[in-house]
Homo-oligomer: A and B are copies of this chain.
Amino acid sequence: MISVIIVGSGNVAQNLFHALQQTVGVNIKQVLGRNKTHLQFVKNDKLVNTDFTKIPTADIYILAISDDAIGIVAEHFKNKEGLVVHTSGATPVEVLSSLKRPGIFYPLQTFTKGKIVSFNNIPICIEANDDKDVKLLYKLGNALSKTVVEIDSDQRKTLHVAAVFVNNFTNYLYTLGAEICEEHQIDFNLLKPLITETAAKLEDLSPLQAQTGPAKRGDQKTLHNHLQIIKDKHQRELYTLLSNAIKEKHGKEL
């Protein structure tokens, strides 16, 4: 049985709590947070702790807290013999270097407080200094998910950059799509099946193979017509930049 203390009360902490509660071989000893009201998702009062000076012993402490707080909060774990991991894609393991057994347990997914997602499909990226700790993180990861990979801090940072492109930036394009619809009294819901299928295509095709559209075809007439329709300066700039990039990648004359 792996005993775990979750630190934090946000998107990741809540999703981890929900998943680990149901995980065979894992025992959540406590959820630790600075704000009691934010810990209300923990129904069992005995599991709630807001006192960072009284942290019980556990095999693994998971710091699921804001990137810039990890270093500060880690100070409370200086004397702990257990493994202390953070869940951040962007933060190097060095931020935990004052600890005896630092590590990483980064779930590569987008979490929102209200929305509980299944961990089974979520890749867990782990890192630790010695083999014993790596093994323990594999054990925890495998209990939650079918994909656990050991990657170092540099690769994790790169993966996080790629995640920003396919998640944060993609979501921003959805925002622009919604705006364009709204400006013209069109129901954005009409675009949702297209959005789903655009993502689903990657099961069968690489994104390079899946590329379609006027820029890919080098269809100047449609590109020109679209720029007539788009009035917003920023939308036009982005339309041009991305269309030219697609044309270039797919070898069309500019």
Which of A's residues lie within 8 Å of B, judged by CB? 67-68, 90, 108-110, 112, 114-115, 117, 121-123, 125, 147, 149, 151, 154-155, 157-178, 180-181, 183-188, 190-208, 210-216, 219, 221-222, 225-226, 229-230, 234, 237-239, 241-242, 245-246, 249
**Contacts A67-B222, A115-B204, A221-B68: A212 and B176 contacting too (C-beta < 8 A)?**
no
Residues on B with C-beta less than 8 A from A160 are 226
Nearest CB of B to A228, in Å: 9
CB distance from A170 to the nearest CB of B (A): 5
**B161 pairs with A229, CB closer than 8 A:** yes
DSSP majority for the A interface? Answer: helix
Q: State how many angstroms separate the Cβ of A226 from the closest Cβ of chain B.
A: 5
Query: Which residues of the other chain, B, contact A110 by a CB distance below 8 angstroms?
Result: 194, 197-198, 201, 212
Copies in the complex: 2
Q: Is B225 in contact with A157, judged by CB distance below 8 angstroms?
A: yes
Assess the B195–A202 pair: CB atoms within 8 A.
yes
Could you list 7 examples of A-B contacts with CB < 8 Å? Answer: A112-B210, A123-B193, A162-B176, A168-B212, A168-B242, A170-B195, A195-B202
Asked if A245 and B194 make an inter-chain contact with CB atoms under 8 angstroms apart, the answer reads no
| B167 & A205 in contact (Cβ 8 Å cutoff) | no
Question: Would you give the shortest CB distance from A65 to chain B, in whole angstroms?
Answer: 13
- Which residues of B sit under 8 angstroms from A162, Cβ to Cβ? 176-178, 180-181, 186, 188, 191
A166 touches B198 (CB 8 A): yes
Are A164 and B210 in contact, CB atoms less than 8 angstroms apart?
Answer: no
| Chain B residues near A173 (CB-CB < 8 A) | 165-166, 169-170, 173
